[in-house]
Amino acid sequence: MKKILLSSIIIIIGITFIGRLSYLQIFSFSPDQVLEDPAIKRVYDYPERGYIYDRNDKLLVGNDPAYDVMVIPREVRALDTLEFCGLLGIKKKKFIKELRKARMYSPRLPSVFVPQLSKQDYARLQEKMRHYQGFYIQQRSLRYYATNSAANVLGYISEVNERDLAKNPYYVQGELTGRTGVEKQYEDILRGRKGVQYIQKDRYNRDIGKYKNGILDTLPEQGLELNVTLDKVLQEYGERLMNGKRGGIVALEPATGEILSMISGPTYDPALLVGRERSKNYSKLHYDSIARPTWDRSLLAEPSPGSPFKTLNALVALQEGVITPSTSVRCYNGFYVGKKKRGCHCGGGMRNLNSGIYESCNAYFANAFRKIYEKYETTDEGMDVWEKHMKSFGLGQYLGYDLPTGRKGRIPSKEYYDKWYGDNRWSSSYIISNSIGQGEVAATPIQLANMTAAIANRGFYFTPHILKKIDGKNISIPDYVEPKQTTIEKRHFEPVIQGMADVYNEGTAKWLRIPDVTIAGKTGTVENYTKIDSVRVQLTDHSVFVAFAPVENPKIAIAVYIENGYYGSRYAGHIASLMIEKYLKGEITRTDLEKRMLERTLDREYAKPYSGKEFKINEYDWSQDAIAPKEEDPSI
């Protein structure tokens, strides 16, 4: 009996051990423990982020070396603290605080002691650094901007957060990633791939050689340089014109869909979001909930398009055969919807398609619009046809451009109105405002520009895009190099374009002609409302303008939207005209126009709703508009 006792104890011990070992090594084991292994450190070799150039190979974004003073607390030896603090430009108190912080983090590992030295400080320190044991300077790369414009288009980079880490296993804490704009859209291309070295460590965190002799190590892959479609000169010029104005400008090259400039006002210097002041500046910009500089109006603002939309209604009416270019309508300084009269500013009288466009006659387009619906038995059918035509211009849907934000705008469908009014409880008279681009239609500035490009091309467009070249090679992405056809036949465009040209020749924009350049455009004046203390209050109209030039062989199509800029030919018309001239001729002949745009701001207008007092809107005399402080360097 006692013989068996000891044997049993031995066997029980054996079984217990094997049980515990199988718990540890079979059930608790997981293969990705290698990643958590404290014995293997990954050292990364970061490639330089790709540069960004404009369409003419002018540098927009590069990299700048930045220098951090690092400290390994354990290796710090006695030093002349005062002299060292003097060199770094810090106080002794801060010196002690930073050193304590670093020691708390780890006495053996490097911590950032003073981040991002200026180049001058670096030059001064570099010589003397070897006197201070335990301190050294580490170089890293920061974004450098060769332009003070296009902040929202180019975007910015910042440290990855928890969400990025969870979403993409590539990143590790402390790395940078594109947050907005091109930096975000083409993050993978610009970033490259970091190289990894696996280092075997001991428990004191000291390196003791390569893990598995480095067979898992990888070399970094360089980030590639990009050319964006922007024209740096035009972009910078546009931003100067936008001084003190809120709104968006989008200029496209109709033959390619390339975005020549994309401006949102107010804007900011992209360099604000780099360096030591980054987070302070970011908060200031992000939390400005009134001017909203980080909200890209050229992609996100969805105003009613206003009168430029009339050109599309004319095209649809022509395509549907309900009007011809010679169809005439009498304008009674307005038109009747049932018994209710709606106004018109065209001056009244007989209007045909041509004068309807260049005088922007509401009555003419209300008639054309009604006729589209009358062609079909039911309003529903008419609505479907109209919606299909409008959407073929890229309206009411995401355009599919290569920037990370956007809005759909709105082309209302029959379902939309069924929801509002009830099934079959509405007719064309309910939606007549759409005929003049008011009512329920809405479009972002880039959609307006794209629509203009489609007209300039006489019936097709290329999806707007910002990427021109990767690593010096032109892109061949089918979405961007293949044309999209509209549903309107080519022959219907000429009369409409003639009308748009006559806007400059005889119509609402005859003061904005560019010498020696044929130009077609359309003004827009968009009524808009806001809520002040939950009361609906009308504000000064938005100023909208679309144009393209030259008429015969369009090189540029542009849409300008200026919040509360009053009638179309005022701010928006001026800016469109100046932008086109700048792009086509490289210089401005009409310096008076230019001076006016550079000087006048809408600050007074924007202050009105916040004044707490009654205010007048649509004030005709614009000499009252505020004048911007003189620019440092007006030459471009």
Partner 1 sequence: MAGKSVLKRIDWLSVLFYLLLVTIGWVNIYSSTFTENGASIFDFGTLHGKQLFFILVSIASVVILLALEASFYERFSSVFYMVSMVSLLGLFVFGKTISGATSWYDLGFFNLQPAEFAKVATALALAKYLSDIQTDIKRTKDQLYAFVIILIPALLIIPQPDPGSALVFFSLSFVIFREGLPVYYLGIALFAILIFVTTLMFGTIWIAIILALIILVFLLLKKKKFKVPVLPLATALIVTVLFSLSVDFVFDNVFEQRHRDRFSLWLRLEKDPAKLEQIQKTIGYNSYQSEKAIESGGIFGKGFLEGTRTKGNFVPEQHSDYIFTTVGEEWGFIGTVTVVLLFTLLLLRLIFLAERQKNAFSRMYGYGVISILLVHYFINIGMVIGILPTVGIPLPLFSYGGSGMLFFTMLLFIFIKLDANRLNEGI
Interface segment toward partner 1; rule CB under 8 A; list 33-41, 68-76, 494-502, 530-538: 33-41
Could you tell me which of 176, 70, 159, 44 has the C-alpha nearest to residue 122? 70
Number of other residues whose CB lies within 10 A of the CB of residue 367: 23
> Does residue 215 bind partner 1 (CB under 8 A)?
no
Interface segment toward partner 1; rule CB under 8 A; list 5-13, 93-101, 373-381, 510-518: 5-13
- Secondary structure percentages of the chain, helix, strand, coil, to 5: 40, 20, 40
Which lies closer to partner 1 via its Cβ, residue 34 or residue 96?
34
User: Minimum CB separation from partner 1 for residue 209, in Å?
Assistant: 6
> Does residue 24 bind partner 1 (CB under 8 A)?
yes
User: Minimum CB separation from partner 1 for residue 3, in Å?
Assistant: 6
> Does residue 20 bind partner 1 (CB under 8 A)?
yes
- Figure out which of the listed residues 29, 332, 398, 420 binds partner 1, where binding follows CB under 8 A: 29
- Figure out which of the listed residues 84, 132, 211, 268 binds partner 1, where binding follows CB under 8 A: 211
> Does residue 534 bind partner 1 (CB under 8 A)?
no
Tell me the residue type at 438.
Q
User: Minimum CB separation from partner 1 for residue 65, in Å?
Assistant: 34
Number of other residues whose CB lies within 10 A of the CB of residue 345: 15
The beta strand positions in 462-554, using DSSP E, are 467-470, 473-474, 484-485, 520-532, 535-549
- Report how many helices (DSSP H) and strands (DSSP E) the chain contains, helices first: 23, 23
> Does residue 39 bind partner 1 (CB under 8 A)?
yes
Interface segment toward partner 1; rule CB under 8 A; list 25-33, 84-92, 324-332, 492-500: 25-33
Which lies closer to partner 1 via its Cβ, residue 12 or residue 350?
12
Contact 369, 428 (CB under 8 A): yes
Kindly write out the interface string for residues 546-575 of this chain, putting x where it contacts partner 1 by CB under 8 A and - elsewhere.
------------------------------
User: Minimum CB separation from partner 1 for residue 211, in Å?
Assistant: 7
- Which residues are within 8 A (CB) of 280 and not within 5 positions of it... i.e. 6 or more apart? none
Tell me the residue type at 320.
E
User: Minimum CB separation from partner 1 for residue 39, in Å?
Assistant: 4
Which lies closer to partner 1 via its Cβ, residue 37 or residue 423?
37
Q: What are phi and psi of 125, to 5 degrees?
A: -75, -35
Contact 438, 308 (CB under 8 A): no
Tell me the pairing of strands 226-228 and 467-470.
antiparallel
Name the one residue in this structure whose structure tokens are 């090679």.
Answer: 473
Number of other residues whose CB lies within 10 A of the CB of residue 122: 18
Which lies closer to partner 1 via its Cβ, residue 12 or residue 82?
12
> Does residue 105 bind partner 1 (CB under 8 A)?
no
- Distance in angstroms (rounded) separating the CA atoms of residues 5 and 401: 81
User: Minimum CB separation from partner 1 for residue 216, in Å?
Assistant: 12
> Does residue 212 bind partner 1 (CB under 8 A)?
yes
Tell me the pairing of strands 157-159 and 176-178.
antiparallel
- Figure out which of the listed residues 63, 158, 197, 200 binds partner 1, where binding follows CB under 8 A: 200
The beta strand positions in 48-169, using DSSP E, are 52-53, 59-71, 111-117, 135-145, 157-159
> Does residue 21 bind partner 1 (CB under 8 A)?
yes
- Distance in angstroms (rounded) separating the CA atoms of residues 532 and 307: 27
> Does residue 37 bind partner 1 (CB under 8 A)?
yes
- Distance in angstroms (rounded) separating the CA atoms of residues 473 and 490: 33
- Figure out which of the listed residues 209, 214, 321, 349 binds partner 1, where binding follows CB under 8 A: 209
Which lies closer to partner 1 via its Cβ, residue 209 or residue 347?
209
Tell me the residue type at 523.
T
The beta strand positions in 134-246, using DSSP E, are 135-145, 157-159, 176-178, 195-201, 207-210, 226-228
> Does residue 2 bind partner 1 (CB under 8 A)?
yes
Where is 562: in which H helix or E strand? strand 556-562
Which lies closer to partner 1 via its Cβ, residue 34 or residue 172?
34
Query: Reduced to 3 states, what is the DSSP secondary structure of residue 546?
Result: strand
> Does residue 9 bind partner 1 (CB under 8 A)?
yes
Kindly write out the interface string for residues 319-358 of this chain, putting x where it contacts partner 1 by CB under 8 A and - elsewhere.
----------------------------------------
- Figure out which of the listed residues 77, 93, 163, 203 binds partner 1, where binding follows CB under 8 A: 203
- Figure out which of the listed residues 96, 123, 172, 208 binds partner 1, where binding follows CB under 8 A: 208
> Does residue 289 bind partner 1 (CB under 8 A)?
no
Q: List residues near partner 1 by CB under 8 A.
A: 2-3, 5-7, 9-11, 13-14, 16-18, 20-22, 24-26, 28-29, 31, 33-34, 37-40, 200-203, 208-209, 211-212
